[in-house]
């Protein structure tokens, strides 16, 4: 929203500096994005939040400035009184058929004998300042009045309304409609439109039709100031990808009580600039009276939510500058909400009004004093676990990366069919269409990306993958995956073993490791793995008696697994505390065996007995022999 300072000053006195006003506007909620200095003016570029349709007008912004400056606002003088049909010299007929469900208020009037021409300089200048093109005096007046007051309006060439009938209805879908600016649209179903006897002449709340617009030859006009339904305007505008200043206002909710004054202002200007005279009754077809409403604010509640006590006088003063007519009785303030403030519906809305004008930065800062919650919250996540795991990985040389969850079909490796992946209906591009079922694709990509700068590359990611063929089966899981071109299979296995040990997981990580042409890759379902952790660590006293240690070289067939030999040895006696593979050469494997008893010294004879038991069992089970 562009707001020229000179225009604001027509309605309110400003004492703040330009910069100070910009900061204050931001503080009260009209985010001042930019202050543009022109040769003769200063333009504020404001970001208006969706709740404040009133501030999509200069008067709306001026009201906020008045509250900031604690000044009264000067509204434009309205001459027009709509004296009634008796005074009219000429009456032009018009039949209006409307439906309150889709058009709660339809205000309008006919003016005859106007002269369409160029706008006066003051009007053109105003429009140029807010980046609007001057078209002709009538169109410019409607744009000007909308900008000034915030109620959109549209003028029809009365002579082009076939049969002098206007019917408000909803499109069946597919109707052709040419907007005033000459673009052809196919209307979506349920778009609110006005038709005359023959054709669609208006796409309500969004754009007028070319077939009924005001051009050079226009003599008689019908000015319509409507209240449209936000949802309906919004849906049509979105479907067509067609936004206008009017539609932005309607979809946020227009000032329902502002149609008459808007029409008066427009008529004043038309008569002044384009001449002519009123040629119809005032049409104001409405579903209800659209009166201001009452809203209560309990002083106690105000203090409770804000955390400070603001003096009653100050609170009343703030509400007064906002034109909310506050009346204090028994610690309750009753306000009357003008129809342009349709964002004020509940007590909390009033609390915010007081707070923002009081100034957020005038509040003290406190910390919550209540009890600290002690029960575990739902969806609890223990980041300490991640930290443990990541520390082992980084200590082993792996660096952490984060990659996108969304991947493209062409990146999928063989064996992964896009049909089996969760898919985004409206991807930002084809490269980010599917939810990743594995971290492998991105890790391989990351490895090759680094190849030009690094020889040794070790990367890992702890991130979500998205499992399931369709949304009914969809499941999110954290995967822990890594890739290295610099460590061998057993180093990676040892790393995973170390992680498992730290988490108290009794599992063999072999199956999680894969040898790829790019390097060694591992991937495990971290969410699943975490179900098996045991972080309880209890101290075991150091052995009081020394162990006997020996290395046995065993000759065994190639197809016999080391893990089987180790458990084969270990199972032979409870005093075998540990067995590990020391060396491997051709068909011989050397095992390092630690014999230990917690309660006594072992003798050579005892160990010899166990040794022969081991050898016997290895011989029987695996045809393995002691290397001699």
Site for another protein in 350-369 (CB under 8 A): 351-352, 355-356, 360-361, 363-369
Identify the residue among 222, 283, 460, 526 touching another protein (CB under 8 A): 460
Q: Which residue has the tokens 């040898």?
A: 515
Nearer residue to another protein within complex by CB, 149 or 462: 462
For residues 489 and 514, what is the distance between their CA atoms, to the nearest angstrom? Answer: 8
- Rule CB under 8 A: which of 390-409 touch another protein? 390, 393-406
Shortest approach of another protein to residue 238 CB, angstroms?
A: 9
Q: At what angle do helices 347-358 and 18-28 cross, to 10 degrees?
A: 150
Shortest approach of another protein to residue 25 CB, angstroms?
A: 9
Listed ranges 167-175, 208-216, 471-479, 577-585: which one lies at the site for another protein (CB under 8 A): 471-479
Copy the structure tokens of residue 321.
């500058």
Shortest approach of another protein to residue 141 CB, angstroms?
A: 28
Does 20 sit near another protein (CB under 8 A)?
no
Nearer residue to another protein within complex by CB, 464 or 570: 464
Nearer residue to another protein within complex by CB, 200 or 401: 401
Q: Regarding beta strands 165-170 and 95-97, do their DSSP bridges make them parallel or antiparallel, or are they unpaired?
A: parallel
Round to the nearest angstrom and report the end-to-end CA distance of the chain. 93
Shortest approach of another protein to residue 150 CB, angstroms?
A: 16
Identify the residue among 77, 87, 381, 506 touching another protein (CB under 8 A): 381
Does 425 sit near another protein (CB under 8 A)?
yes
Give the distance between the most distant pair of CA atoms in the chain: 133
Does 239 sit near another protein (CB under 8 A)?
no
Does 305 sit near another protein (CB under 8 A)?
yes
Q: Find the helix or strand (DSSP H, E) in which 301 lies.
A: helix 299-306
Listed ranges 133-141, 193-201, 461-469, 600-608: which one lies at the site for another protein (CB under 8 A): 461-469
Nearer residue to another protein within complex by CB, 465 or 593: 465
Number of Cβ within a 10 Å radius of residue 416: 18
- Rule CB under 8 A: which of 489-518 touch another protein? none
CB 594 within 8 A of CB 582: no
Does 348 sit near another protein (CB under 8 A)?
yes
Does 464 sit near another protein (CB under 8 A)?
yes
Does 174 sit near another protein (CB under 8 A)?
no
Q: Residue 250: which of 338, 156, 151, 343 has the closest Cα?
A: 151
Nearer residue to another protein within complex by CB, 161 or 447: 447
Does 92 sit near another protein (CB under 8 A)?
no
Identify the residue among 122, 380, 539, 585 touching another protein (CB under 8 A): 380
Identify the residue among 82, 215, 290, 432 touching another protein (CB under 8 A): 432
Identify the residue among 212, 323, 442, 572 touching another protein (CB under 8 A): 442
Provide the 3-class DSSP secondary structure of residue 531.
helix
Provide the 3-class DSSP secondary structure of residue 99.
coil
Identify the residue among 17, 95, 331, 470 touching another protein (CB under 8 A): 470
Shortest approach of another protein to residue 226 CB, angstroms?
A: 18
Burial-class residue 507 by CB neighbours within 10 Å (0-12, 13-18, 19+).
middle
Q: Residue 132: which of 22, 2, 325 has the closest Cα?
A: 2
Does 531 sit near another protein (CB under 8 A)?
no
Shortest approach of another protein to residue 428 CB, angstroms?
A: 5
The torsion angle over the Cα atoms of residues 265, 271, 276 and 278, rounded to 10 degrees, is 30
DSSP 21-88: HHHHHHHHT-EEEEEEE-SS-EEEEEE--TT-GGGSSHHHHHHHHHHHHT----PPPP------GGG-
Give the interface size with another protein as a residue count (CB under 8 A).
Answer: 96
Nearer residue to another protein within complex by CB, 348 or 598: 348
Identify the residue among 86, 184, 372, 542 touching another protein (CB under 8 A): 372
Does 375 sit near another protein (CB under 8 A)?
yes
- Rule CB under 8 A: which of 176-235 touch another protein? 230-231, 234-235
Does 388 sit near another protein (CB under 8 A)?
no
- Contacts by residues 388-393 (CB-CB < 8 Å, ≥ 24 positions apart): 388/502, 388/503, 389/462, 389/480, 389/499, 389/502, 389/503, 389/526, 390/460, 390/462, 392/495, 392/498, 392/499, 392/502, 393/460, 393/482, 393/495, 393/499
Q: Find the helix or strand (DSSP H, E) in which 127 lies.
A: helix 121-129
């Amino acid at each position: 929203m562009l707001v020229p300072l000179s225009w604001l000053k027509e309605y309110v006195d400003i004492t703040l500096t330009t910069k100070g006003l910009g900061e204050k506007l931001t503080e009260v909620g009209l985010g001042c994005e930019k202050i543009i200095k022109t040769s003769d003016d200063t333009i504020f570029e404001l970001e208006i939040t969706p709740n404040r349709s009133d501030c999509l007008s200069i008067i709306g912004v001026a009201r906020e400035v008045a509250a900031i400056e604690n000044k009264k606002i000067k509204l434009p003088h309205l001459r027009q009184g709509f004296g009634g049909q008796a005074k009219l010299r000429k009456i032009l007929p018009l039949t209006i058929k409307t439906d309150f469900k889709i058009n709660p208020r339809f205000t309008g009037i006919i003016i005859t004998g106007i002269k369409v021409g160029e706008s006066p300089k003051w009007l053109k200048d105003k429009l140029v300042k807010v980046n609007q093109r001057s078209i002709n005096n009538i169109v410019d007046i409607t744009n000007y009045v909308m900008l000034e007051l915030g109620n959109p309006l549209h003028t029809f060439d009365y002579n082009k309304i076939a049969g002098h009938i206007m019917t408000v209805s909803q499109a069946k879908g597919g109707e052709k409609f040419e907007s005033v600016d000459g673009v052809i649209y196919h209307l979506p179903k349920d778009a609110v439109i006005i038709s005359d006897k023959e054709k669609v002449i208006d796409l309500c709340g969004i754009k007028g039709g070319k077939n009924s617009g005001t051009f050079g030859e226009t003599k008689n006009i019908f000015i319509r100031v409507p209240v449209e339904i936000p949802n309906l305007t919004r849906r049509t505008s979105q479907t067509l990808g067609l936004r206008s200043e009017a539609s932005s206002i309607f979809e946020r909710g227009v000032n329902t009580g502002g149609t008459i004054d808007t029409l008066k202002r427009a008529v004043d200007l038309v008569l002044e600039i384009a001449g002519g005279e009123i040629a119809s009754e005032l049409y104001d077809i409405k579903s209800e009276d659209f009166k201001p409403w009452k809203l209560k604010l309990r002083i106690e509640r105000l203090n409770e939510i804000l955390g400070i006590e603001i003096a009653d006088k100050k609170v009343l003063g703030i509400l007064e500058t906002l034109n909310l007519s506050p009346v204090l009785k028994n610690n309750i303030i009753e306000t009357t909400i003008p129809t342009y403030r349709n964002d004020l519906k509940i007590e909390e809305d009033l609390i915010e009004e007081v707070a923002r004008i009081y100034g957020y930065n005038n509040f003290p800062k406190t910390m919550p004093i209540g009890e600290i919650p002690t029960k575990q919250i739902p969806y609890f996540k223990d980041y300490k676990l991640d930290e443990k795991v990541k520390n082992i990985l980084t200590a082993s040389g792996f660096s952490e990366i984060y990659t996108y969850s969304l991947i493209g079909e062409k990146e999928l490796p063989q064996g992964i069919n896009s049909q089996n992946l969760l898919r985004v209906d409206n991807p930002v591009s084809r490269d980010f269409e599917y939810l990743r079922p594995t971290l492998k694709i991105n890790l391989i990509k990351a490895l090759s990306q680094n190849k030009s700068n690094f020889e040794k590359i070790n990367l890992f990611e702890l991130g979500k993958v998205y499992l399931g063929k369709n949304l009914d089966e969809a499941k999110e899981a954290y995967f822990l995956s890594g890739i290295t071109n610099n460590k061998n299979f057993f180093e990676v296995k040892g790393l995973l073993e170390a992680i498992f040990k730290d988490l108290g997981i009794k599992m063999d990580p072999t199956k999680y490791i894969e040898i790829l042409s790019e390097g060694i890759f591992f991937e495990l379902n971290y969410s699943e793995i975490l179900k098996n952790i045991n972080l309880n660590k209890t101290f075991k006293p150091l052995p009081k008696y020394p162990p006997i240690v020996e290395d046995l070289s065993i000759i065994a067939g190639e197809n016999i697994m080391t893990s089987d030999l180790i458990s084969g040895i270990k199972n032979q006696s409870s005093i075998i505390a540990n067995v590990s593979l020391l060396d491997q050469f051709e068909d011989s494997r050397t095992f390092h065996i630690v014999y230990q008893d917690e309660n006594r010294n072992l003798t050579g004879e005892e160990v010899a007995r166990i040794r022969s038991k081991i050898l016997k069992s290895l011989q029987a089970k695996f045809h393995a022999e002691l290397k001699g």
